[in-house]
């Protein structure tokens, strides 16, 4: 069992490794966009918009259930391993069976072999879940962070080599297979745990029930997050989908690389608090940290999009900048809603979280479907509006019902939203006025205009206090722990 110092030090390492993963994903977006183009990436998105839900189902929400459980026996751990593996196998078979229907729906015969090969990754992803949970629960965050970073880098290198050799869409398939296979091998090797041969013994009923509620929420989340790609691919074609998908990935990466790993670090600790009220100040601090850490990169991305996109991706991707601006609202509402979501999970209120999400996501689905019949531009707007409804439902309707400090949680995001909102607007206004100049010049002017409001905001004591708090959480604590 790791000591508190080692736990926190490992957690800090995991979070730092996510910045490395962030860099890898950005490099992947840039390099593969230049090597492959919108059509190839769009066809890959056609497949993953359908099969990606299988990844969520393969987890069955059991990783979250296992993370928040205060103690797990060997029999419980083994049962969870075999359940996840069996679900992964079943899901892989279902995905393989969907290969022809997917290709028929999109009128793309080349998607059949692509889907069949990707089906293999679901078994590997199911088998690796419990070993990652074991690394997480034991505080081996440095090992877990290294494992995931190495798998990402290896997948990217394999994809780049394949793309240079002319593999086309298969470069993206190879990337996914290499990432899944290497993550599985490393997890099996590094996790100091082996499942028992006894399959379904141990009391896991309550874990499966919690996992089921969490699964339904995650599936709804995935469906509404990918319904846009599914419908754009069907009604607007592979090239438009490729452009939309690049924009969505760019705007979502800060949240994915920062907020999702934080969930794995924070949830076990939040769940260990003796009283529900004890987690309130922790959630407020985390919400402030998350708002500054995620909204800063999102704001800069939007501010410089019209110059940044052609500079990084090339002229074929110029349409990405429009979608980045329209999807910024979805990134905003997703970010300021994370702490509330953690509160539901830490308190074991997965059923109420399901209720909070259901109505809002139903409205979101209706908006996306209606928008898809007009254009992908309308779909981007519908996604941002729908994400706002989800935030409002959790934060203002259902959150107070379980005693979450709604005003304090949302108040923690007010200053970063205002600061980065003003900075983003200033940078965007200047960047738009540099159209016609070389992209590098427009990018430089946009960044400068974005930085000015940030510097000006430091005249306010509250902002300086926030800055010190964020720096302390991200840097100083880690240095003290390393010295300990």
- Residue 5: its pLDDT value, please? 47
Angstrom distance (rounded) from CA 284 to CA 408: 7
What confidence score (pLDDT) does residue 371 get? 93
Query: What pLDDT was estimated at residue 87?
Result: 81
Across 67-76, 112-121, 245-254, 359-368, least confident range:
67-76
Angle at 288 between CA 284 and CA 290, to 5 degrees: 115
Q: What is the pLDDT of residue 434?
A: 84
Say what the pLDDT of residue 213 is.
Answer: 56
Of 8-12, 151-155, 287-291, 325-329, minimum mean pLDDT range: 8-12
**Mean pLDDT along residues 383-396:** 91
Alpha carbons 79 and 83: distance in angstroms, whole number: 6
In this prediction, residues 227-245 reach a mean pLDDT of 88
CB 188 within 8 A of CB 130: no
CA quadruple 12, 17, 22, 23: dihedral positive or negative?
positive
Mean pLDDT, rounded, for 61-77: 64
Say if residues 306 and 440 touch (Cβ distance below 8 Å): no
Give the residue extent of every domain in the chain: 1-203, 225-484
DSSP-derived secondary structure letter, 277:
G
Mind listing the pLDDT tens digit for each residue in 109-156? 889 999 999 988 888 888 888 788 777 777 676 777 788 888 989 999
Contacts of 176 (CB under 8 A, 6+ apart): 118, 121, 155
Please, is 117 exposed, middle or buried when counting C-beta atoms within 10 Å of its C-beta (0-12, 13-18, 19+)?
Answer: middle
Give the CA angle between residues 349, 353, 357 to the nearest 5°. Answer: 175
* Residue 435 β-bridge partners: 437
Q: What is the mean pLDDT of residues 464-474?
A: 77
Q: From CA 41, how far away is CA 168, in angstroms rounded?
A: 9
What's the gap between Cα 299 and its chain centre? 17
List, for residues 74-83, the tens digit of each pLDDT value. 777 777 788 8
Asked whether the predicted pLDDT for residue 7 surpasses 60, the reply is: no
pLDDT (average), residues 360-385 = 91
Percent of the chain whose pLDDT exceeds 90: 27
Q: Among 443, 420, 414, 423, which Cα is nearest to 431's?
A: 443
The structure's pTM equals 0.75
pLDDT tens digits, one per residue of 429-458: 999 888 778 888 889 999 999 999 999 999
- The answer to whether the CB of 202 falls within 8 A of the CB of 73 is yes
Residue 418: CB atoms within 10 Å:
13
Q: Residues 325-354: pLDDT tens digits?
A: 999 999 999 899 888 888 887 777 767 777
450 or 405: which leads in pLDDT = 450
Contacts of 471 (CB under 8 A, 6+ apart): none
Mean confidence (pLDDT) of the chain: 81
Q: In whole angstroms, how large is the CA radius of gyration of the chain?
A: 22
pLDDT tens, residue by residue, 306-326: 888 888 888 788 889 899 999
Check whether 210 has a pLDDT greater than 60.
no
Closest CA to 121 of 95, 98, 83: 95
292's tokens: 């500054």
Closest to 388 in 3D by CA, of 328, 303, 299, 305: 328
What's the rounded Cα separation, in Å, for the pair 95 and 123? 11
């Amino acid at each position: 069992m790791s000591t508190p110092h080692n736990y926190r030090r490992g957690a800090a390492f995991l979070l730092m490794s996510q910045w490395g993963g962030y860099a890898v994903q950005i490099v992947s977006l840039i390099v593969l966009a230049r090597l492959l183009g919108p059509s190839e990436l769009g066809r890959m998105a056609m497949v993953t918009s359908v099969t990606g839900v299988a990844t969520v189902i393969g987890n069955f929400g059991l990783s979250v259930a296992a993370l928040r459980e205060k103690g797990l026996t060997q029999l419980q751990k083994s049962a969870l391993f075999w359940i996840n593996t069996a679900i992964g196998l079943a899901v892989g078979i279902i995905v393989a069976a969907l290969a022809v229907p997917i290709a028929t729906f999109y009128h793309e015969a080349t998607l059949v072999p692509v889907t069949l090969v990707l089906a293999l990754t679901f078994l590997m992803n199911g088998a690796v879940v419990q070993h990652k949970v074991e690394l997480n629960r034991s505080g081996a965050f440095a090992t877990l962070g290294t494992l995931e970073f190495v798998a990402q880098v290896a997948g990217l290198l394999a994809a780049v080599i394949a793309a240079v050799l002319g593999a086309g869409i298969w470069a993206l398939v190879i990337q996914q297979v290499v990432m899944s296979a290497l993550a599985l091998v490393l997890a099996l090797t590094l996790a100091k745990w082996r499942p028992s041969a006894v399959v379904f013994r141990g009391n896991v009923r309550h874990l499966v029930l919690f996992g089921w509620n969490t699964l339904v929420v995650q599936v709804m989340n995935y469906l509404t997050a990918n319904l846009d790609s599914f419908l754009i691919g069907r009604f607007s074609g592979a090239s438009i989908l490729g452009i939309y998908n690049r924009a969505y990935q760019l705007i979502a990466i800060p949240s994915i690389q920062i907020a999702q790993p934080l969930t794995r670090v924070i949830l076990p600790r939040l769940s260990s608090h003796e009283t529900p009220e004890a987690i309130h100040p922790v959630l407020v601090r985390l919400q402030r940290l998350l708002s500054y850490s995620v909204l800063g990169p999102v704001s800069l991305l939007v501010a410089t999009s019209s110059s940044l996109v052609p500079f990084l991706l090339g002229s074929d991707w110029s349409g990405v900048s429009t979608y980045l601006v329209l999807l910024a609202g979805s990134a905003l509402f997703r970010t300021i809603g994370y702490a509330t979501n953690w509160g539901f999970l830490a308190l074991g209120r997965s059923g109420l979280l399901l209720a909070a999400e259901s109505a809002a996501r139903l409205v979101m689905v209706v908006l996306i479907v209606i928008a898809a019949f007009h254009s992908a531009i309308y779909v981007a707007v519908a996604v941002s509006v729908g994400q706002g409804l989800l935030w409002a439902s959790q934060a203002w309707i259902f959150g107070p019902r379980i005693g979450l400090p709604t005003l304090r949680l949302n108040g923690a995001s007010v200053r970063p939203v205002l600061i980065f909102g003003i900075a983003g607007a200033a940078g965007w206004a200047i960047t738009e006025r540099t159209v016609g100049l070389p992209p590098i010049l427009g990018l430089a002017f946009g960044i400068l205009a974005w930085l000015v409001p940030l510097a000006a905001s430091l005249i306010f004591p509250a902002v300086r206090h926030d800055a010190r708090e964020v720096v302390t959480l991200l840097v100083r604590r880690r240095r003290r722990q390393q010295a300990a």
